[in-house]
Amino acid sequence: MGRHTKGFTLIELLVVIAIIALLMAILMPALQRAKQQAKTTICLANLKEWGLMFAMYTGDNDGYFFSGQYGGTWTGQGSGKFWRRCMKPYSKDIKMWCCPNATKHGGPGKISQWSYWAWENDGDVGSYGPNGWILNPPPGTTSVWGRQPVSDHWRTPNVTGANNIPVFLDAMWVDAWPRENDTPSDYEDWREDQVNFNEMRRFCVNRHDGFVGALFCDWTVRKVGLKELWILKWHKSYNINGPWTRAGGVQPDDWPVWMRNFKDY
């Protein structure tokens, strides 16, 4: 009698395929979450390195941040270049300039309108930006790139409450001067800000599932909830109980739809 090799029946094969599909359906979300967590960890590590670089810069400059001027003037195309020119000697690794969730950019001269894209400005590409209120404007300055009052600038990290004063964050553009009355964007991936108006939107970007990475004046780094941005102490007279905070009376339905499920503060 000849030998006969027993194989899978069609039903058995379909059962195996169904089991594999079920396992993949269970594992894929977990793998995706792990991947996103890894990117968030890298982003926070980048900001931690930036903290060391900012500490070195202020240590080399009598404890003060940069002035905000570019080429000794407030005119021309220097807005946004001022911090890059000052920090480049301390930040040689170009990978440090981008959050791993925002490495693509819109091409030369374009201002990206998407929170998962990096900005490009005058040959530099990045997806982080400074809180403009940290600057140390020189005596006699009446306006910093159109932002007033100058007296609201922190000038140095050596201030009370440093752990709630943002220095450097995930950003949609090269810099921003947030105010407590700034409103969030109606759409997740659209900035729509103007100088001295709604600049909080430049930091209110959904990079890490409702959070952004942030470096503070005490050089600590942590994730900040998008709604939490409004209770940080951005400048000296900033009201942390402003209209977009729970203490200030904001209601859940006041937030744009894309932000309503994020944690309240």
- Please say if the pLDDT value at position 4 is more than 60: no
Q: CA 162 → CA 34, 147, 151, 156, 261, distances in Å?
A: 32, 22, 17, 10, 29
Residue 71 above 90 pLDDT? no
Q: How far apart are CA 249 and CA 242, in angstroms?
A: 8
pLDDT at 232 over 80: yes
Whether residue 33 lies inside any domain: the answer is yes
Q: Looking at residues 137-164, what average pLDDT do you find?
A: 95
Dihedral in degrees, nearest 10, Cα atoms 184, 188, 189, 193: -10
Across the chain, mean pLDDT equals 89
Residue 2 falls inside a structural domain: no
**Domain span at residue 71?**
14-259
3-state secondary structure of 87: helix
The 10s digit of each residue's pLDDT in 19-38 is 787 777 776 676 666 677 88
Say if 148 falls within a structural domain: yes
pTM comes to 0.87
| Banded pLDDT at 126 (limits 50, 70, 90) | very high
Average pLDDT over residues 46-66: 98
Residue 247 included in any domain: yes
The answer to whether residue 4 sits within a structural domain is no
pLDDT digits over 167-192, tens only? 999 999 999 999 999 999 998 877 77
In a domain, 9, yes or no: no
Residue 264 lies in a domain: no
Total domains in the fold of the chain:
1
Q: Is residue 1 part of a domain?
A: no
Q: Please give the pLDDT value at position 112.
A: 56
